[in-house]
Amino acid sequence: MAGPYQGKQDPSDEKIHSSPDHSSERSSADKTSGEHPREVELQVKILYYPFMGTNVDTERLLLLPKICYAPLDIGELERMLFGDKPSKEEVGRFIRSLINSGHLGALEHWYTTFAVQGYSRISSQQNDRHRLMKVFKDAGVVYYNEPVQASPDVSQLQQSQRYVREENFGYVVPPSFRAHPDFLERFRKLQEEVRQIQREGHARGIPAEDVRFALTNATETRFVITVNARQLRHMFNLRCCQRAQWEIRELFTKLLYEYKKIAPNIFYRAGASCEDFGYCPEGKMSCGRAPTIDALREAYEEKHRLSRRNEPGGGEDVR
């Protein structure tokens, strides 16, 4: 399609859009085969974001919400996206104003896809919790310490242990194990034993979907996630928090670093809840880096009480 910008032709496009072939799964597994299970390290890669590979700034997509505030026609919207006005600085100010004003629905129009490998199966289960977000609240109930900042919009594709044989799997080693060499060695031997069980089970003709029951939670998984910017910011709120499990925090800290390079205004102030909101929603479980919502409410009520006492004819608020 002709237009004011041209995408860069990728010679791999034809392969990407070709019909799926299960042989690709087998060849991928062959490439990672070896004599022993492998200790793996986390790897992340952003595969897609709006206007990726073109000369159009991805953040210009978030100029579209201007239609909420002005009678813009289609032509004007298109010129905003692909033109040079408003300037990059003005675009940034507009996006930050959207975030500061709470107009976060606008962020749902910016989609991205990222891939992850070298991640444990146990930690990957946390991603499923973002499929149906907590925006489905009980009617009439106000959640003061749990602000609704997300949208139920996450799609995930994950490597199947049913179709991909795990005879030479990778596995994740928790950093705490390395301080206990004898325990780490036992852990490694366990992975080797699991590998032997996988091979023997397949050799006996036991279905792969049953042999996988012997795998441990440390087994590496690989997945792809597509998500909008609003939901991704919410994931950063939860997963960059000091209370998040270390592997999940490592993943989202790496992703945040990469996304801030791509779209610094869309991910302005993004990070743990305390960095985004200025307070901690964890209540008694707070790490102490920021005041909790209860502490802020108490401070506000105290200030309000004192101001009433200082008013002419004021006195102690007995409510």
Active-site positions?
A: 239
DSSP 3-state of 69? coil
Of 162, 112, 108, nearest to 133 by C-alpha is 108
CA distance 56 to 67: 20
Q: Which long-range contacts (CB under 8 A, 24 or more apart) does 55-58 make?
A: 55/5, 55/6, 56/5, 56/81, 56/82, 57/88, 57/91, 58/110, 58/262, 58/263
CA distance 169 to 263: 35
Go through 170-192 and write b for each residue having 16 or more CB atoms within 10 A of its CB, e for each that does not: bbbbeeeeeeeeeeeeebbeebe
Task: Return the residue matching tokens 């880096």.
Answer: 289
